[in-house]
Structure 1
């Protein structure tokens, strides 16, 4: 199992999106879930999570529309612990 697949299957949608949205376009994150946890897309959780992260200040958009860390962003635990490296 690839590290990406492990992350998608084992970590919360909030943690995955708050990290990967910083350097992958939304379509790429969508494809990751489409491959490994399609139910997250089908039940609307992925879109709802994106919207919540922006409204909660975890993610923000810069002047060019790029997703950046919001004022309430914290590194997910799986990143700080190097869980999948």
Structure 2
């Protein structure tokens, strides 16, 4: 199982979007989540809802070329700081 697949299967939607929205445009992120854990979107709501929550909270900000950028309140999720998937 790939590292990305393990993250998508084990972490919350908001934690996934907090990191991967900086690296992948929305269509690619949506496809990644739907292919590895489609239940995640049903459980936490839509991908657009996650973006809206994170932008409102200042975790993400609108960026360029379909990518988000770090907002003033961005903080690495626990799975990154704890290096769970290294």
- TM-score of the pair, normalised by structure 1: 0.85
Residue aligning to 1:72: 73
Equivalent residues in 2 for 1:1-85 (5 A)? 1-41=1-41, 44-62=45-63, 64=64, 66-85=67-86
Query: CA–CA distance in 2 between the matches of 1:58 and 1:6?
Result: 23
Query: CA–CA distance in 2 between the matches of 1:13 and 1:59?
Result: 14
Query: CA–CA distance in 2 between the matches of 1:46 and 1:10?
Result: 16
SS in 2 for 1:40: helix
The answer to whether the Cα contact below 8 Å between 2:13 and 2:41 also exists between their aligned partners in 1 is no
How far 1:74 sits from its partner (Å)?
Answer: 0.5
- TM-score of the pair, normalised by structure 2: 0.84
Query: CA–CA distance in 1 between the matches of 2:11 and 2:34?
Result: 15
Query: What do you get for the CA RMSD once the two structures are aligned?
Result: 1.7
Query: CA–CA distance in 2 between the matches of 1:47 and 1:68?
Result: 15
How far 1:19 sits from its partner (Å)?
Answer: 0.5
Query: How many aligned positions are there?
Result: 84
